[in-house]
Amino acid sequence: MTGLERIAEAFESARADGRRAALMPYLMGGFPDLDTSRRIGLEYARAGADLIELGVPFSDPLADGPVIHAAATVALRARVKLPDVLSGVGRAIADEGVPVVVMCYANPILARGLDRFADSLLEVGASGLIVPDLPLEEAPAVLRACDERGLALVPLVAPTTPEDRLARIGAQARGFLYTVSLTGTTGERSGSLADGFAAVVSRAAACTEVPVAVGFGISTPEQAGAAAAAGADGVIVGSRLVRAAGEGPDPVAAVGVVMRELAAGLAGSAVG
Amino acid sequence: MTAVEHRFGPYGGQYVPEMLMPALAELEDAWVAARDDPEFRAELDALLRDYVGRPSPLYEARRLSEAAGHRIFLKREDLNHTGAHKINNAIGQALLARRMGKRRIIAETGAGQHGVAAATACALLDLECIVYMGTEDMRRQKPNVERMGLLGARVEPVQAGARTLKEAVSAAIRDWVTNVETTHYIIGSCVGPAPYPALVRDLQRVIGDEARAQVLDAAGRLPDRVIACVGGGSNSIGVFTPFVADPDVELVGVEAAGEGIETGRHGAPLTAAGLPGVLHGAFSAVMQDEDGQILEAHSISAGLDYPGTGPEHAWLRDSGRARYVAITDAQALDAFALTARLEGIIPALESSHAIAWAVGNGPSELDLVCLSGRGDKDLAEALDHLSS
């Protein structure tokens, strides 16, 4: 099965199970340390993750807010490297049968060499790739390398993306369309984002054939439920879980609690 | 082909989060319209003349020339209002921001010169100004922090990483990602995603346009070499550009060798010539480890303490049109002291790198050196090192 097929299947089975949207948690590889991040990934799988985004630490993460930036800094100080993240964490999650989409900034990909990087994703059983600083214009070579291997290069769209551009991005989206819910960096936002969700989801859905996943700023079961109610096929939660991974004596238990709350927020019978 | 260059050879591009792409397109459109608009041009030229004090003089430094063994002309950007070349770009971009209807301005600063220039332009044009600055640089450049406050800007301390220019740029970009609809980012050098490298070059080429005419007037000939320091590379690209088509003029960019290239503690990505990479939205020469993590730069001069460089410089290097060399902290300090003693001019530590190379390296009959800023801001740091 290719990565593209695994991702498609994850969205289908979430729907078939009667859930309102796929739950797509993010973790930073190597945070709070490499082995704990592996166990966090496995806990995500146990707690109902349909797809897991695996972050590769980078020194200058321009799209990330303070929580994920700080987690990357911790991982880099501990000398966690890309192969550690892929084979130490990515493979373990993929072996559990949950699709892994690697989130990595452009420069570590270039430094490793595009083909070598893409091959290493295949080797560990990853299904796709998100590059937060690789807009449409810079993406062709990476898209080709992913397509050749059946990996999904997942693009991002933002509330600021104009319609004509949205159509071009949606047309070449693979796996799913990462729909940024707000204008800003990653990080938790208080209160209801629900008003914004309906507009961003319907705009995104109109431009693409692939499922629409909403991320950035979603941290509570209520927000996750609201994104599903707005029509999102998937809900991405990052900073809230990374924060939980950095708190307290038992990070695995802490993320487990948050994950089960989020899963409950997306459970079938709730009013949608 | 875009109206503004996005690539210089393989370098440049727009490696930024999707949120910023519409703003970059808007900025490019605005610049293309403004640069050909006689009204905009007239307003900018009048401000450069009456407010900045342009043209800046070209001065033949006779005693420095004697020490060097060849003629050295200094392009006196230190005599601009606010004391450096940074104001040329800041005024131009602030006018552009006002034209785009964006009244909130953000900027980053290392040495503080660009922060002061942006704060000054915003005071003049009644724009809100927020300047991101690493806390290590705030310590090194305290007078400039105070100046920015007096000018009505808010200085946002940046605690991440080595607390210098790289992190300040990252913090400014994150602010822009969040506030892009109301905010213009006045980037201080010819770095960042397109159209910035071309926009900043266009606004800084006034240095070279003036200097070329002035040196022809004063010496009756073109210089053998045009020499300027390179951090991000804005004063150098500004002074180089009008000479690029003069094949007999050698262009020399002087980077910071810091404690020595071989120590790894430097700010010389062009000279060290490692694998190119992506930093702050552009593919260019960059200091990075084998995993593609960006390294911290080191220089005694806060303005050269940056691990990246403008993409056009990387292409000028690869195409062979310009050469890039590096000067250590110690050599720059010597040139700083020498210029003060011989010429009664206290240069910025950044510009001292260019002077050090010009004085110490022949053969040449006539050098044009861009004295990009004055050294008042560096007094405490330089005296500390010179006395130890």
Q: What is the pLDDT of residue A192?
A: 60
Q: What angle do CA A53, A54, A60 make, to 5 degrees?
A: 115
The answer to whether A180 contacts B290, with C-beta atoms less than 8 Å apart, is: no
Q: What pairs with residue B286 in β-bridges? A: B308
Q: What is the DSSP letter of B77?
A: G
pLDDT digits (tens, 9 = 90+) for A173-206: 999 999 998 888 888 887 666 677 888 999 999 9
Sheet-wide strand order for A100-103: A152-153, A128-130, A100-103, A52-55, A22-28, A234-237, A212-215, A177-180, A156-157
Nearest chain B Cα distance for residue A221, angstroms: 24
Q: What is the pLDDT of residue A268?
A: 73
Out of B13, B179, B292, closest to residue A108 by CB: B292
Instruction: Give percent above pLDDT 90 in chain A.
Output: 88
The answer to whether A156 contacts B17, with C-beta atoms less than 8 Å apart, is: yes
- Answer yes or no: are the C-beta atoms of A70 and A46 closer than 8 Å: no
Chain B CB contacts of A207 under 8 Å are none
Is the pLDDT at A92 greater than 80, yes or no? Answer: yes
| Mean of pLDDT values over A160-183 | 95
The answer to whether A65 contacts B275, with C-beta atoms less than 8 Å apart, is: no
In chain A, helix, strand, coil percent, each to 5? 50, 10, 40
B38 CB-near residues (< 8 Å, 6+ apart): none
pLDDT digits (tens, 9 = 90+) for B96-136: 999 999 999 999 998 899 999 999 999 999 999 999 999 99
Chain A CB contacts of B280 under 8 Å are 60, 62
**β-strand A22-28 against A156-157: which pairing, if any?**
unpaired
pLDDT bracket for residue A271 (50, 70, 90): very low
Hey, is the C-beta of B277 within 8 angstroms of any chain A C-beta? Answer: yes
Q: Which residue of B has its CA nearest to A63?
A: B17
pLDDT bracket for residue A272 (50, 70, 90): very low
pLDDT bracket for residue A228 (50, 70, 90): very high
Q: What is the pLDDT of residue B380?
A: 86
Hey, is the C-beta of A133 within 8 angstroms of any chain B C-beta? Answer: yes
Report the b/e string of B134-148 with b at 16+ CB within 10 A.
bbbbbebbeebbebb
Q: What is the pLDDT of residue B270?
A: 98
B residues 14..43 contacting A (CB < 8 A): 14-19, 21-23
Q: What is d(CA B287, CA A178) in angstroms, rounded to the nearest whole number?
A: 31
Q: Mean pLDDT lowest for which of A26-30, A100-104, B242-246, B272-276?
A: B272-276
Residues of chain B with pLDDT under 50: none
- Answer yes or no: are the C-beta atoms of A25 and A259 closer than 8 Å: yes
pLDDT digits (tens, 9 = 90+) for B213-269: 999 999 999 999 999 999 999 999 999 999 999 999 999 999 999 999 999 999 999
| Mean of pLDDT values over A54-76 | 95
Q: What is the pLDDT of residue A188?
A: 81
